[in-house]
Amino acid sequence: MVASAAERFTPPPIPWRHPLALEPAPELGPGLDPQRSGEALARLCAEPDVQAVIAFGSRARGEARPDSDLDLAVIVGQPQLTPTEKMACWKRFNRALGRQGVAVDLVVAGSADAERLSGSRWHVFGDVAREGRVLYVAR
């Protein structure tokens, strides 16, 4: 739900600040095999610069259909990424995930950028902070 411009907007607390181990087979809705998804997410979380992985969108809200895509936000430890660095991470993270049987929409951000953008009512990282399901946070 988007607030009107006249309503006072209060940014949500940042949900990816506390360490959280990845569940071995997270349930992400119909059309995704939890075991296969868990293995793919484990490969992603094993990437050395991955700080947090958050599912968002219909799968995080529990409203997914079998053909719904999997929206994932990946936050890296580096505070900011150049466009070139962001694209390199995106490619590497997509390779780590492999095929999932549904489309995967992956967004990548540096830790400082993700924190700053999480307070936005208009940016995708605002949605991630408000409705995301944190799957993993590095220790």
Q: Where are the domains of the chain?
A: 34-137
What amino acid is encoded at 91 in this protein?
Answer: K
Q: How far apart are CA 49 and CA 39, in angstroms?
A: 18
Q: What pLDDT is attached to residue 92? A: 98
Residue 15 has pLDDT above 90, yes or no: no
Per-residue pLDDT band at 55 (split at 50, 70, 90): very high
Mean pLDDT, range 6-20, rounded to an integer:
78
Q: What pLDDT is attached to residue 41? A: 97
Can you give the C-alpha Rg of the chain in angstroms? Answer: 15
Task: Give the tokens for residue 133.
Answer: 């399901």
Q: What pLDDT is attached to residue 19? A: 92
Average pLDDT of the chain is: 92
Q: What pLDDT is attached to residue 11? A: 67
Give burial (CB, 10 Å; 0-12/13-18/19+) of 17.
Answer: exposed
Per-residue pLDDT band at 5 (split at 50, 70, 90): low
Per-residue pLDDT band at 17 (split at 50, 70, 90): confident
Per-residue pLDDT band at 2 (split at 50, 70, 90): low
> Residue 138 belongs to what H/E stretch?
none
CATH 3.30.460.10 at 34-137, yes or no? yes
